[in-house]
Amino acid sequence: MHPAAPTSDKTTPEELIRLRAVADYQFGRGAGKALFPDEIRVVRSKKTGKIKGIFLNDEHLATLKPSDGYLALSVPGGNRLLQAFQPPRHRVMIMDEVAEFIKNGRNLFAKHVVEADLKIRAGEEVIITDTRGDLLAVGKAVMSGKEMKHFKKGIAVNVRRGTCDE
């Protein structure tokens, strides 16, 4: 049996409220409006009808994960959050020497972290930037922000997408 192709629709007002509420809960007040303007479009599973992906003008902003109900950011979604929140919020700043590797989707090691939001907890979505604050990638934190700054070994962030992947 082949999986059914997803369908694309405009969001209902209730869905927009729900998606913004998830973003506000996950990233903090104001994230919902910053990430999801009124014009977003959703892709639903044809089989279940549940929202899978969120798009704006054919740019993938985020995926709503069915496993936990949280959002997984894409690079354009990470860029929207980057613009919405002041540093160091949700950010991990890295050494410029490894920027090309991270842009290409390689995982970030703790020894390459220059600065990190101390409020980051393991498992949270994070934005990876260079020392100038330019977006390089988005991913899922493996360590807390405090651990990223102090540890010299281990993976700090599992990179989902780098800017060169988009």
Q: What is the pLDDT of residues 73-125, one digit of tens each?
A: 999 999 999 999 999 999 999 999 999 999 999 999 999 999 999 999 999 99
Length of the chain in terms of residues written? 166
| Same-domain pairing of 100 and 46 | no
- Whether residue 126 is contained in a domain is answered as yes
Q: What is the structure's pLDDT at 10?
A: 82
| Same-domain pairing of 72 and 18 | yes
CATH code (residue 127): 2.30.130.10
User: Coil, helix or strand for 113?
Assistant: strand
Mean pLDDT of 118-139: 97
Mean pLDDT of 42-55: 92
Last residue of a domain, one of 44, 76, 108: 76
Range of the domain at 121: 86-162
For residues 9 and 54, the answer to whether their CB atoms sit within 8 Å is: no
Q: Is the pLDDT of residue 4 over 90?
A: no
Q: Nearest to residue 154, comparing CAs of 105, 93, 113?
A: 113
| Same-domain pairing of 139 and 119 | yes
Confidence at 2, pLDDT banded by 50, 70, 90: very low
CATH code (residue 43): 3.10.450.90
Mean pLDDT of 38-58: 92
